[in-house]
Chains A and B, each alone.
Chain A
Amino acid sequence: MLPFFADLITRTDEARREFETNPVVLDAVAHGMPIERYRKLLLELYHLVWHFNPVCAAAASRVPDKLRQVRYFLYEHMHEESGHEQWVMNDLEAVGVRQAALLAHQPALTTLALTGYNYWAADRRDPCSVLGMMYTLEVIASVYGGTFAEAIRSSLLLEGDRGVSFISSHATMDAEHMAELRQVLNTVDDDAAREAIVESTLVNFHHFTRMFEAI
């Protein structure tokens, strides 16, 4: 029998590959993007990052005792991610977006749909669905983050991590997170929870791809 992590990869393979073969994504990873589009991307990312921990907290509060390892995993992850929205704010500042403009920014419909789904799934579907959100974001960060950060740095002539600190550091960090996430996913033995994780992964890849297309 397949470990659940491998089963998740197999069942969400097409959604993952649709993200990575999307022409807009391919172009951004290869050539970076103009500063205006990068600003828009960071503005949308800010909202995702800002809601990441509350979604995790909502899920953690509902994880049943028999899956306590998932709850502890979420605690640790929330602790690590705490304050990362500030990194996005710093990057925005570096590319010329002031805090006032950020706070006045209305998230795109796809961003609202993505965060809305994640809250709903954690609250109404199954709390373990949050692991699908984490899997999606960590695949994107660990597999594409490093190359994308380099492309942005080079196309916008940024120095060091200035302007790309959030994406660049998550690329490295999330390789570690992916190994930890695999371990915790393989402990989830509840069928309903597994189905919810698969669904959440499909929805997150779908909305993230649309968000990327729209900026």
Chain B
Amino acid sequence: MSAEPSQALVTLMTRPYRYIALEWNDELKALRLRTRVKPIQCYSLAAMGELQRVFTDLSESPGLVKHYVMTSDVPGVFNFGGDLSLFVLLIRARDVESLRMYGRRCVDLIWWMENASTLGIHTTVLVQGDTLGGGLESVMPFHKVVFERSAQAGFPEVLFNLFPGMGAWNFTIRKAGFSVANEMILSGKLYTAEQLYQRQLVDLVVDDGEGEAAVESVMRSVHPRLRGTLAALEARRRAAPITYEGLMEIVGQWVDSAMTLTDRDLRLMERLARAQARKAGGAAEGAVDEIKRIELDSAWGEERGTGITVWGGLGG
């Protein structure tokens, strides 16, 4: 039996969170979740624990929330994705069990997003900065994906001999088809908001600073026909099904691949992790710039051959 909505709302909104902040719009029954993970805006275990707490609260109170919106409070960064330094640590400790646990926690979050329509919740995400790897994977299951024009995204994992293992293949194939998934995941390239829109992974691109208004507009246009929209989205989900078991099978393969990474691969991963930390410390350059440098190094054979010798220009 679910709790009374008012009590459930109080419980939801008053929990002490460190890495997220919640806002409530009573008119639209909209929950806004802002992420601000310290010291690096990525999916750390602690941050994922807080997200899961929110999702559990929402699952236990069906009907409480009609719209769920996710944004980032960190300027220039939506999310850097997986906790790379944690991966390095677990791989060096040969901790297969904890890596799998990390993957399962990611999949649990994605699976909740995938099933949000069954809870009567429409989901919207606003991306206003860099989003890499797991950050982009986490965006994919949202019903509406809004990017501001300067945002960039991609799956750089192939640069350190890994692949995005928490839903990237499933959701990219569903939204954009095999060829786009192949291109994006196997190249490791970064894409502009416009390029992602052309590939149908982003539903709406707006000028910088107009994202908030766009999200408001999305919610207001969906709200009067919410039940029909969610029913249609539920049918879409059934038409192109993704299963929890299928997602976890890929996590298993991701863990196996991670355990085969060489010291050189791990050092590349560490380079990216340090670049994320520099950006978190206020530097102008961050992980995106480091990816470009790794690409160039790779092309010149200074790190290792990734098979990628052309840096995909960000324009057009």
B-binding residues in A (CB < 8 A): 2-3, 5-6, 9-10, 13-14, 16-18, 20-21, 23, 26, 29-30, 139, 142-144, 146-147, 175, 178-179, 181-182
The answer to whether B39 and A26 have CB atoms under 8 Å apart is no
The answer to whether B93 and A17 have CB atoms under 8 Å apart is no
A64 to B168, CA, bound (A): 48
The answer to whether A9 and B274 have CB atoms under 8 Å apart is no
Q: A179-B93, A182-B94 are in contact. List 4 more A-B contacts (CB 8 A).
A: A9-B45, A14-B46, A20-B277, A26-B274
The answer to whether A5 and B267 have CB atoms under 8 Å apart is no
Given contacts A13-B44, A21-B280, are A6 and B98 in contact (CB under 8 A)?
Answer: yes
Residue B85 contacts which of A2, A17, A23, A30 (CB distance < 8 angstroms)? A17
Is B101 engaged at the interface, CB distance under 8 Å to the other chain?
A: yes
A5 to B86, CA, bound (A): 12
Contacts of B270 in A (CB 8 A): 143-144, 147
Residue B274 contacts which of A18, A30, A142, A182 (CB distance < 8 angstroms)? A30
Is B95 engaged at the interface, CB distance under 8 Å to the other chain?
A: yes
Given contacts A2-B101, A147-B267, are A181 and B274 in contact (CB under 8 A)?
Answer: no
- Say how far A94's CB is from chain B's closest CB, in angstroms: 24
The answer to whether A3 and B86 have CB atoms under 8 Å apart is no
Residue A13 contacts which of B46, B92, B263, B277 (CB distance < 8 angstroms)? B46
Residue A26 contacts which of B46, B49, B95, B278 (CB distance < 8 angstroms)? B278
The answer to whether B86 and A9 have CB atoms under 8 Å apart is yes
- Say how far B285's CB is from chain A's closest CB, in angstroms: 12
A-binding residues in B (CB < 8 A): 38-40, 44-46, 49, 85-86, 88-90, 92-95, 97-98, 101, 263, 267, 270, 273-274, 277-278, 280-281
Given contacts A21-B280, A182-B95, are A10 and B45 in contact (CB under 8 A)?
Answer: yes
Q: B interface, by DSSP: helix, strand, loop or mixed?
A: helix
Contacts of B263 in A (CB 8 A): 146
Residue B45 contacts which of A13, A143, A144 (CB distance < 8 angstroms)? A13
The answer to whether B281 and A9 have CB atoms under 8 Å apart is no
- Say how far A206's CB is from chain B's closest CB, in angstroms: 14
Contacts of A2 in B (CB 8 A): 98, 101
Contacts of A175 in B (CB 8 A): 92
A44 to B44, CA, bound (A): 32
Contacts of A182 in B (CB 8 A): 93-95
Contacts of A21 in B (CB 8 A): 39-40, 277, 280-281
A29 to B90, CA, bound (A): 20
The answer to whether A178 and B277 have CB atoms under 8 Å apart is no
Contacts of B49 in A (CB 8 A): 10
Residue B38 contacts which of A14, A144, A146, A178 (CB distance < 8 angstroms)? A14
The answer to whether B274 and A6 have CB atoms under 8 Å apart is no
The answer to whether A178 and B97 have CB atoms under 8 Å apart is no
9 CB-based A-B contacts, threshold 8 Å: A5-B93, A9-B86, A13-B46, A18-B39, A21-B39, A30-B274, A143-B89, A146-B267, A179-B94
A3 to B93, CA, bound (A): 13
A36 to B273, CA, bound (A): 28
